[in-house]
Structure 1
């Protein structure tokens, strides 16, 4: 049987030994789930093994083709520049090898579902009935906290994740903050929640594994809560090495090998059942009009290929996708 191209999982790295070991354990678990698939993992910085050693280990096993998946939630500097540069160097060091490069992970509906579970765990309603769960959520504002970057594009993806988390989940609101390099920081984000009327806030770290920065999020939230006893603050756990994460890494691996990326349909309600929008799955995008501009007709254009009919009303006629005039 022909051995498939290898999977190289590229991590950021952390000074936290527990977080680094969580990454290494996740790489081992992905390998265990996929017998026959060569799997290796390495870090860009701070933690062993470095990507250089991971690629060298694959090459020593006779691997000549692999796909690298950045185990990162947003396309920040490491995913955009450092990892591709490291892979280019490794191709020079190991003549004859080739690699494809996958997309970062989020925001993806599978990971949003994990965040949903972490929220329920923080609220103590993971095993509660539907009515109790809905009531707890209706009184809860979430502060989604990302790593933070000097790259505005990367920061904008955290805001996208926050919006997708808000949609259809019955929460009082979802706000966004960052633990480093970008504003608003965690205390400012909590203050915004309080100013908007939140009485209970769940701080939800948008991180894959434990580490220095998730610990900082928890510490900053605890200090702010101590100074504001009138506001209940709870901090949820990180995403962690879940089944959803392992499946998504394999999906990004296959996507990289086939080149079948096209437009980003990860969170398209016509392909994926998001909470409150399940009826849209499989429906086509119909030509539509603008209620406020009846003099113009609009031809709807979209790169998806979905069907059956989904009737539209004036209230929802202009709420889905880009169009051309």
Structure 2
């Protein structure tokens, strides 16, 4: 039995160069799991779209698919855009079994990736002293995700023995400039930003500019490709693929099988 296709689902960018990290993630996952169909689909801004990817897989005879959202702020619920896309492709291909995995979410292991990227940034910028941190994400997540992000910030602060403020770039909470101002009001002067982003899209670029304008010493690169992220993607895929084993057979396939049995 062929394993379900793994569709990495992400927000795109109007600038193709900014999606290079996501394409690299797909390549590395395909290299790690050559037995799987691993493809990348975007929810907005650039091709290939989710419906286009599904149509291409169907044309190749694929009948089972798992979407894995590359979203590190939602822990349980996918955003509305992803839900609507899934509804559309299910309606267009009722013969295909497909499901949406849990988002990557703010997993504890991502703090290790954040540390790697921040150390790289500090070294490049010759920063030798820090007295505060900002954990910056593109957007707030679901209720569980937001609670976990707050916990991750506390864990990161405790690990480095530095105060840490969470910032969201979508306006749903404290922005990065306000987070920096809050720390400066506490007397902190050597502040660095850890970027809780998968890729360097427009949101990341804008956040970085605001943080540097606020006078931070360093802004880490996006988390990008890392073994922890590949492992997390695979874990979400495997759990969701198991659900397909218990799912009802698509109506058209069930009808075909009944016909053969007669």
Indicate whether the TM-score tops 0.5: yes
Alpha-carbon displacement from aligned partner over 1:257-294 (angstroms, at most 9, x marks no partner): 224xxxxxxxxxxxxxxxxxxxxxxxxxxxxxxxxxxx
Q: Deviations over 1:85-108 (max 9, x none)?
A: 212211221131011221111211
For residue 72 of structure 2, what is the aligned residue in structure 1? 73
- Does residue 15 (structure 1) correspond to residue 5 (structure 2)? The answer is no
Q: Which has the higher helix share?
A: 2
Matched, 1:241 2:241: no
Measured on the aligned residues, the alpha-carbon RMSD in Å equals: 2.5
Answer with 56-65 or 82-91: which moved more. 82-91
For 1:146 and 1:62, the matched residues in 2 are separated by 38
Range with greater deviation from structure 2 (25-34 or 243-252)? 25-34
Q: d(CA) in 1 for partners of 2:145 and 2:12?
A: 18
Q: Which residue of 1 aligns with 2:109?
A: 110
**Is 1:158 aligned to 2:157, yes or no?**
no
- Aligned match of 2:40: 41
Taking the TM superposition and a 5 Å limit, the aligned residue runs for 1:137-176 are: 139-149=130-140, 155-167=146-158, 169-176=159-166
Structure 1 residues 137, 152: closer, same or farther in 2, change over 3 A?
farther
CA drift at 1:159: 2.4
What secondary structure, in the 3-state scheme, does the structure 1 residue paired with 2:68 have?
A: strand
Question: How much has 1:218 moved relative to structure 2?
Answer: 1.6
Secondary structure of 1:109's partner? coil
Q: Following TM superposition, by how much is the alpha carbon of 1:75 offset from its aligned partner in structure 2, in angstroms? A: 2.0
Report the alpha carbon displacement of residue 122 of structure 1 after superposing the two structures with TM: 2.8
Over 3 Å counting, the alpha-carbon distance change for 1:150 and 1:161 in structure 2 is closer
Runs in 1 of length 4+ with deviation above 4 angstroms?
136-139, 149-157
2:210 to 213, 216, 220: 220
Instruction: Please tell me whether Structure 1 or Structure 2 has the larger radius of gyration of its CA atoms.
Output: 1
Give the TM-score taking structure 1 as reference length.
0.68
Where 1:112 maps in the other structure, the secondary structure is helix
d(CA) in 2 for partners of 1:24, 1:78: 24
Closer/same/farther in 2, CA of residues 188 and 222 from structure 1, 3 Å limit: same
C-alpha displacement of 1:124: 2.6
The runs of 5 or more residues in structure 1 that have no matched partner are 126-135, 226-231, 260-325
Conserved 8 A contact 1:64-1:97 = yes
Give 1:253 deviation, angstroms. Answer: 0.2
| Bigger relative CO (Cα 8 Å, ≥ 6 apart) | 2
Aligned equivalent of 1:32? 31
Tell me how far apart the structure 2 counterparts of residues 239 and 150 of structure 1 sit (CA, whole Å).
18
Contact 1:138–1:172 under 8 Å retained in 2: no
Alpha-carbon distance in structure 1 between the residues aligned to 2:196 and 2:138: 7
Residue correspondences, number: 241
